């Protein structure tokens, strides 16, 4: 059980949402975030045309989800449409809420012992390697085009998040939520004429709106740090981050470091595909971590002990110009308690002027910023247990929530935790959604445009950060997170911290079986 215990030592996308839902306030003295409003009344039907009425009468489908309640993110839609789905299919839906820290363990225990108490799970994308390697779940390829089931289009999902739904050419995860990280900035502040003039006097170039390179990102953070640019009588910050160990810092390092390593010519980041030796000690990784640690000086000192909630609240209170994180923050910015609604800028993370060639062990300079997309996060999606005695009904449930009539609403309204990742979620010319679909859910039109454009560009970037999904993934990530904190607090140098993480990586790989891990690693990336 040692592996499972380590897997659950960190939070996920659901844990941060649950934190905000349960507490409403991330820290004393910061803006109160009321994340989940009352469930709206249904104004549409998600029922597809079916060949047979109540095709699964007498069956029960049991699904596990991270605990968030009837009005909570990710769980809310399953409660909201339970009666409708039961009436449509004749089946009963049993919703099993499990605290995030126990969810993976509960799922794996059920599968490994052959108990089969659950038919399907809403799983994190990083769990897929364990599930496929153990032959614990079944693909749904045979049902995908079957007219008996609600129709949804996997090709509607943008290439980055779409890749997380499949393994070895087979469809395993039914799309629900699509995670990724982008840069958020105060558009009103960066377009202030006085600030623009002062910035140009200091740095010799125009204040970028938004920053396109990591150098520009740093300059903007430095320029706006330590003085009262929002007029509240107190010094404000250039950037806000959350740097507490165990607070998912490894996710942010992944997204931030990607352009130092990933390019059109290089897709590797984690391990050498010939021997599973860690690559994270490279000069590229070290340079990225040094750049991230350098940014710490341009934010509040307290953020060294902050989790996600504190950092988000600081930005929503209007105290920082820059941050980078998940889609949750965009939705939170539209809440009544946010002080930045209508002032939000969003864009893909900036690029670098060079990337590190791992094979040649040398830097490659580029003329245009090397920007890289990411699918960093949980990307919660449905999988079907091989032990299920109602697998077709389970797929029907997952496909029901994946169909456009429902999923478009989930992605637009924000509170339910489903982040955008499909062409049907994005505004023209990027996709087929309408601005009215967002403003109807309380979005400022300008904020919605910035937000959806940023995520479209992020997911549609042909250069994508390689999402690790092999067995033991979260053990690797726990080790990395611990050492990142050591670097952020100055306890270790960036190089020493990454070397320590690499040593633990090797220990994990050897314990799980180096040859077995190597084959799964190559398979997961199609190498």
Region for 513 from its dihedrals, namely left if φ exceeds 0, alpha if ψ lies in -120 to 50, beta otherwise: left
- pLDDT of res. 378: 86
Q: Rounded CA gap, 61 and 382, in Å?
A: 13
Owner of token pair 């992944």? 254
Mean pLDDT across 6-14: 34
Q: Summarize pLDDT for 20-31 with one digit per residue, the tens.
A: 333 333 322 333
pTM summary value? 0.86
DSSP secondary structure of 431-450: -S--HHHHHTTT--HHHHHH
| Helix, strand or coil, per DSSP, at residue 87 | helix
Helix (H) or strand (E) holding 93: strand 92-98
Residue 1 has pLDDT above 70, yes or no: no
Report helix angle 283-295 to 249-261, nearest 10. Answer: 130
Q: For 253-279, write each residue's pLDDT tens digit.
A: 999 999 999 999 999 999 999 999 999
Residue 175 makes CB contacts below 8 A (sequence gap 6+) with: 152, 154, 157, 161, 162, 165, 381, 402, 407, 421, 422
**Model confidence over 412-422: pLDDT tens digits?**
886 788 899 99
Alpha carbon distance 332, 336 (integer Å)? 9
Domains of the chain: 36-179+379-440 (3.40.190.10)
Q: Find out whether 350 and 323 touch, Cβ atoms under 8 Å.
A: no
Q: Which residue has the higher pLDDT, 202 or 527?
A: 202
């Amino acid at each position: 059980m040692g592996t499972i215990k380590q897997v659950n030592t960190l939070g996920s996308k659901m844990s941060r949402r649950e934190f905000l839902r349960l507490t409403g306030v991330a820290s004393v003295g910061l803006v109160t975030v009321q994340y989940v409003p009352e469930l709206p009344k249904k104004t549409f039907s998600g029922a597809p045309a079916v060949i047979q009425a109540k095709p699964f009468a007498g069956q029960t489908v049991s699904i596990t989800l991270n605990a968030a309640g009837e009005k909570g993110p990710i769980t809310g839609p399953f409660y909201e449409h339970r009666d409708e789905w039961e009436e449509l299919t004749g089946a009963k839906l049993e919703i099993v809420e499990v605290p995030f820290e126990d969810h993976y363990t509960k799922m794996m225990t059920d599968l490994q012992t052959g108990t089969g108490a659950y038919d399907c799970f809403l799983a994190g994308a990083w769990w897929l390697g364990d599930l496929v390697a153990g032959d614990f779940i079944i693909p749904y390829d045979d049902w995908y085009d079957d007219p008996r089931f609600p129709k949804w289009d996997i090709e509607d999902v943008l290439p980055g998040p779409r890749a997380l739904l499949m393994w070895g050419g087979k469809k395993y995860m039914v799309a629900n939520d699509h995670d990724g990280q982008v840069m958020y900035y105060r558009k009103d502040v960066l377009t202030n004429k006085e600030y623009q003039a002062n910035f140009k006097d200091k740095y010799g170039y125009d204040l970028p709106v938004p920053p396109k390179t990591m150098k520009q990102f740093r300059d903007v953070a430095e320029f706006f740090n330590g003085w009262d640019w929002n007029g509240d009588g107190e010094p404000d910050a250039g950037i806000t981050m959350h740097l507490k160990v165990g607070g998912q810092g490894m996710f942010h390092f992944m997204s931030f470091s990607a352009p130092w390593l990933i390019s059109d010519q290089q897709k590797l980041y984690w391990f050498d595909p010939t021997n599973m030796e860690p690559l994270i000690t490279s000069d590229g990784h070290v340079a990225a971590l040094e750049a991230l640690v350098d940014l710490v000086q341009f934010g509040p000192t307290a953020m060294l002990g902050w989790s996600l909630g504190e950092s988000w609240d600081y930005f929503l209170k209007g105290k920082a110009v820059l941050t980078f994180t998940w889609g949750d923050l965009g939705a939170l910015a539209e809440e009544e308690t946010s002080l930045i609604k209508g002032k939000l800028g969003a864009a893909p993370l900036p690029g670098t002027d060079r990337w590190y060639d791992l094979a040649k062990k040398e830097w490659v300079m580029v003329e245009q910023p090397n920007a890289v997309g990411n699918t960093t996060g949980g990307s919660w999606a449905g999988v079907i247990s091989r032990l299920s005695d109602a697998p077709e009904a389970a797929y029907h449930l997952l496909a029901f929530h994946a169909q456009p009539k429902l999923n478009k609403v989930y992605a637009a309204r924000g509170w339910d935790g489903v982040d955008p990742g499909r062409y049907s979620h994005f505004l023209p010319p990027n996709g087929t959604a309408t601005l009215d679909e967002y403003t109807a859910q309380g979005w400022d039109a300008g904020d919605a445009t910035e937000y959806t454009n940023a995520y479209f560009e992020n997911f549609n970037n042909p250069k994508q950060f390689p999402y690790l999904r092999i067995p033991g993934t979260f053990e690797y990530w726990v080790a990395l997170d611990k050492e990142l904190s050591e670097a952020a607090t100055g306890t270790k140098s960036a190089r020493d911290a990454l070397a320590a993480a690499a040593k633990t990586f090797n220990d994990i790989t050897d314990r799980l079986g180096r040859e077995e891990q190597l084959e799964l690693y190559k398979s997961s990336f199609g190498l």
